[in-house]
Amino acid sequence: MKNAKKIVVIALAMIMALCTFTACGSDEPADLSDQTLQVFSGAGLAEPVQEIADTFKEQTGCEVEIVFGPTGQLITQIQTSESGDLLIAGAVDEIAAMDEEEITATHEMVKHIPVLIVQAGNPKNVASIKDLAELEVMLADPEVTPIGKIAVKVFENAGIMDTIDVVANTTTAPLALTAVAEGNADATIVWKENASKNDKVEIVDLEEMAKYIKVVPAVELSYSTNEDARIAFVEFMTGEEGMAIWAKYGYEAVE
């Protein structure tokens, strides 16, 4: 009898989870028009995250308020305000700055692939990381951005951190890319998706960059006051339709 009751409880829990995003007994998404989600997202993820949020709102009526910025600054903002439903970080490593009690669940979604970019035509003939020695390099700020931390590690591992000419640090990866595109620096390291749509730069394909690939997580926050909407948004973002949007912007799903 106890086993039978246990099975019933598990079954009910599964049904409730399925009903969060879709209305029970229907293929239509649940009506969440009376709810508002507060989402914090890495600035480099802006395009896919915004489209996912807009599509989710169209289907459920749920408002999604998004704050974009460097992951480090977003975590500070979350901790200071003790608010927020979800954090979409630039890399799993970044959430180590959060306390365990601030996180209720973590979902690894897509790969964040760092690449070396140069001006279109590769005028400096860069064929390896070491070729950057003594060139002008733009960095995303390593204090607050995951890609900036990766860039520093790449240069240190290649033994050229002390020889490259760091022109400046930018607050986001897209700004670093723009600096190279406009001729204000010879090279930078950004995320692959940042570079894919800019014809003024090109990616230098290097096998040595593969070991620096990161994973983008969705982090459910304990400060959340909108459980149904939060769970529904995560299910949508990591489901078939959400993953198709990620793929549209050049992200690869985590296997």
CB 189 within 8 A of CB 89: no
Predicted confidence at residue 112, as pLDDT, reads: 87
What CATH number did the domain enclosing 186 receive? Answer: 3.40.190.10
Asked if 69 and 194 sit in the same domain, the reply is: no
Partners of 41 in the β-ladder: 68, 88
How confident is the model at residue 2, as a pLDDT? Answer: 43
- List average pLDDT for each run of 10 residues in the chain, which is 255 residues long: 42 44 56 94 92 97 96 94 96 92 97 95 96 94 89 96 93 92 96 86 95 96 96 97 94 91
Range of the domain at 62: 30-111+215-253
Q: What is the pLDDT of residue 43?
A: 86
| C-alpha span between 63 and 38 (Å, rounded) | 9
CA dihedral 222, 225, 229, 234 (to 10 degrees): -10
d(CA 89, CA 82): 17
Does some domain include residue 166?
yes
Tokens standing for 37? Answer: 């989600």
How many domains does the structure of the chain reveal?
Answer: 2
Could you tell me the pTM of the whole model? Answer: 0.74
Shared-domain flag, residues 61 and 128? no
Residues 65 and 121 in one domain: no
